[in-house]
Amino acid sequence: MCRLNTAPPSSLLLCADQEEAPSILPTVDTFPCRSCTSVFSSWDFLQKHRKTVHGEFEPRHRCSRCFYTSDYKYEVVAHERTHTGQKHFVCATCDRSFTLQDSLTRHMRIHTGERPHVCATCGKGFTVLSNLKNHERTHTGERPYVCPQCGKSFLKKSDMTRHSRVHMGAVSGRDVCRT
């Protein structure tokens, strides 16, 4: 009998039993979990399932300098630049350089004025998606970040983090929490 393999389809080998019972074997487009009966349409979905449901994860690539891992070599290569300081992506307008292409793309929006992330409520545009998400909370009133010490809530995680310093005595008297 064949043993199911969770490797990418390019590395799967067909076995002799496949002709006799093709319905029990995975097709090139399916990725069965070896720990349960779940089947996924992509290698990525399978890996996410194995990590979240079964606590298993088998990254294929590792950073040679730290514990960072990824299924994708290009992500590890990009990550390793954070250790070396190599910045291969240079802005043609201001000569600022970046370790990642995505960082340069976001930076270029400063020069072009492009704001692709638009608030559905008021139409205000943002260069970065996370800024839009923070802005949308001003319309909904959602304040998801709560100080564990005093219960004060914040729109942004960075505001809560800054606030939490008052409880550690790390800021001047003017920032004392009065809630």
Residues 42 and 65 in one domain: no
| Residue 170 confidence (pLDDT) | 56
Measure Cα distances from 101 to 80, 109, 161 in Å.
14, 13, 29
Q: Are residues 63 and 49 both part of a single domain?
A: no
Examine the domain organization and report whether 158 and 171 are in the same domain.
Answer: yes
User: Would residue 120 count as lying in a domain?
Assistant: no
Residue 136 is assigned to a structural domain of this protein: no
Q: Are residues 74 and 99 in the same domain?
A: yes
Examine the domain organization and report whether 38 and 73 are in the same domain. no
Distance of alpha carbon 109 from alpha carbon 103, whole angstroms: 10
14 lies in some domain: yes
pLDDT tens-digit profile, the chain (179 residues): 333 344 444 444 444 444 444 444 444 567 888 888 888 888 788 878 888 888 776 667 888 998 888 878 888 988 888 898 888 899 999 999 998 888 899 999 999 999 999 999 999 999 999 899 999 999 999 999 998 889 999 998 889 989 888 888 755 545 555 55
Check whether residue 69 and residue 31 sit in a common domain.
no
Q: Report the CATH number that the domain containing residue 96 is assigned in CATH.
A: 3.30.160.60
At 59 the pLDDT is 66
Give the per-residue pLDDT at 129. Answer: 92
What are the angstrom distances between the C-alpha of 85 and each of 3, 78, 89, 99, 156? Answer: 45, 11, 12, 7, 29
Could you tell me if 20 and 64 lie in one domain?
Answer: no
Residue 122 lies in a domain: no
Q: How far apart are CA 40 and CA 30, in angstroms?
A: 6
The CATH number of the domain where 153 resides is what? 3.30.160
Q: Is 118 a domain residue? A: no
Give the structural domain span for 18: 9-54
pLDDT at 102: 87
Count how many domains the chain has: 3
Is there a single domain that holds both residue 64 and residue 44? no
Is 86 found in the same domain as 44?
no
